[in-house]
Chain A
């Protein structure tokens, strides 16, 4: 497997090496506690979990590819580099609008991956991979339309379970989702990553609400990658120009894009899911409330879900509030 951490890392390039791209999206309290042997308690729970997962499963990874997305995610690879022999490639994902750096770094990554895999990532190979991954994304896009329909036909919880295959590189897995119509208040999910183990929170939310769109790593962000030119330039263009992550500076475009999604999906409210010490989102919550003008339910987590009953009550109260507005 080749592990990776960020929505800006082209999965097509990783797959072209012949390795299985595996998105590091681990989040459970056990792994997180293990991670605290290497990191302070105030590190991001996702990073703590991922690092513990990597250390425990190091024999499974041929290489790891990271980016300079969040500071903690970038620094995680520094520790992995110190503690394991896994080759680590961290590419500069510029925070400002600087496509040159991004494009140069993709060129760098291609050369390094060619060396790692002893394969030439030529146009033919890249075209094949692009078509393969585009085809998969198209299947998910069809499902996403059902999720976003009004009334919504499939749940985000089910969508997430299916999308895990994409993130784990199990591209040949069958995608079967049973339709579950819902007339619950329509909400947009935003915030920190939804990890493999966090489906529980989606289920809980969807007992009272219906998540019809999201902007979290780990659910549907990959659908925004649409590679028009089936070559390396097409990859660079599609990945660089995806709806911008909140850590981009300035982050106006993130707000513009999310606002447009809220309208498009006729949402009634927003659920903001943040992990403990997730700077990128925690600093922005207040601004989100004023910028979006939607009711926001904030849920903060360390993956322990010890406060599940409390969260449940808060979700019910949020639903009541939304229903009274509707």
Chain B
């Protein structure tokens, strides 16, 4: 087995050097879809730079073997999806809901869910405008969420295979992606549209609805569960028609699998955020959180990787080892950054991410296992980040600030993104007890000295405030 070195963040060259020490036997041990012939995914991150992910040469990575598995697996996703089609698996695009519909899809044997919108990282990893320019040609305005890259990816047919079935969730979510999905349909695709209801917060003057609370303490009108349940029933029926399989026991198993991963990730976050030294870098932790959505198209292998990550982090915490300076400032990150380099940069400038709100709360909460599965899915989705009020969205961060665990908040916005435009000022106001920096994520390769200075000033402000 490969022996992990003292934890630190390393660059591409260092990883390539380190990779040489890994035996072929170990490399062959890890494969997606359990396939020995073509499922091997371990390779030094430099391989993916050669394939086009040019940004990797500027990034720093955790030096653990677990992180190597993680990166190899994540960068292998496109190949994996094409392979899935080749070997007769069904590739299902689940757009817009970020976390729940894949649990249903995975109840059907050989059905692989994926989120086309997750391709929003690609223009940044590739330092390329190809997808964004094409999205503009296809009608998406330039000031809009970078998830518009998905539109171009559907058009180009080179980033993932043509889905066998598509679900498109819309409603009380962001307008940008709803519009992008509509344009995708306009390219000749045929998504099944799924409604996401707005989670109306209870008010003292409301009389007409009975309210329930999620496990995270978020209130919602009880009847909204039934709306979601009927939408999930629609997903199920479409999957049954598509596969000719109808076994609800598989759904219970799929929920268990999802929960296994969700618990692991929750534990990883808790360990990482509460340890005296940051045991794992913020960039990898973001990739881990987003893995909850669909396991990067091989849920079992991803869960296995996350178990290894958890073991690595546990060991580091036990030994009191970390990857950042002991005086790194604890901050919360609100809204995920499509530019991975920002996460490196913020850590390099002296911060440590100890709380996140990456608009995927619904993919982080455990799904109840002792109630009817569709109801359980509905109740878990009702924790979603973007379907309710801003206060509900950032409540956990507010609590973190109140308890002194968070010393600053960084909000990364996308120019023209509907929820960023509306929520950011309110979030700034709600978290005004600590320094809050709100920045617009620039287009690929657009992080300037000016932006770096703003982040450096933010770090300085936090330091002053703590003194």
Contacts and interface: CB of A to CB of B under 8 A. Distances in A.
Interface of A: 37-40, 42-44, 47, 68, 70-72, 74-76, 78-79, 81-82, 87-88, 90, 92, 94-96, 98, 100-101, 104, 107-108, 111-112, 115-116, 247, 249-251, 277, 279-280, 282-287
17 contacts: A39-B425, A42-B416, A42-B417, A68-B172, A72-B421, A79-B422, A79-B426, A81-B203, A90-B198, A94-B195, A108-B209, A249-B182, A279-B416, A280-B175, A283-B139, A286-B138, A287-B183
Interface residues of B, number: 53
B200 A90 contact: yes
A247 B178 contact: yes
B205 interface: yes
Interface of B: 138-141, 143-144, 168, 170-176, 178-183, 185-186, 193-195, 197-198, 200-201, 203, 205-209, 223, 227, 389-391, 413, 415-426
Contacts of A284: 139, 179, 182
B316 to A, nearest CB: 39
Query: Which 10 A-B residue pairs are closest in the complex by CB-CB distance?
Result: A286-B139, A283-B179, A111-B208, A75-B422, A43-B421, A71-B418, A71-B175, A279-B175, A96-B193, A68-B198
A74 B172 contact: yes
Contacts of A285: 139
A87 B141 contact: no
A119 B196 CA distance: 32
A70 to B, nearest CB: 6
Contacts of B171: 68, 92, 94-96
Nearest to A112: B208
A42 B172 contact: no
Given A42-B415, A277-B143, A283-B140, A92 B421 contact: no
A47 B175 CA distance: 14
Contacts of A39: 421-422, 425
Given A78-B390, A277-B421, A251 B182 contact: yes
Of residues A74, A87, A101, which shows the largest number of chain B Cβ atoms within 10 Å of its Cβ? Answer: A101
B462 to A, nearest CB: 23
A285 B140 CA distance: 9
Contacts of B390: 75, 78-79, 82
A79 B198 CA distance: 15
A282 B416 CA distance: 11
A78 B425 contact: no
Contacts of A247: 175, 178
A250 B182 contact: yes
Contact of B416 (A47, A107, A277): A277
Nearest to B195: A96
Contacts of A94: 171, 195, 197
A201 B201 CA distance: 39
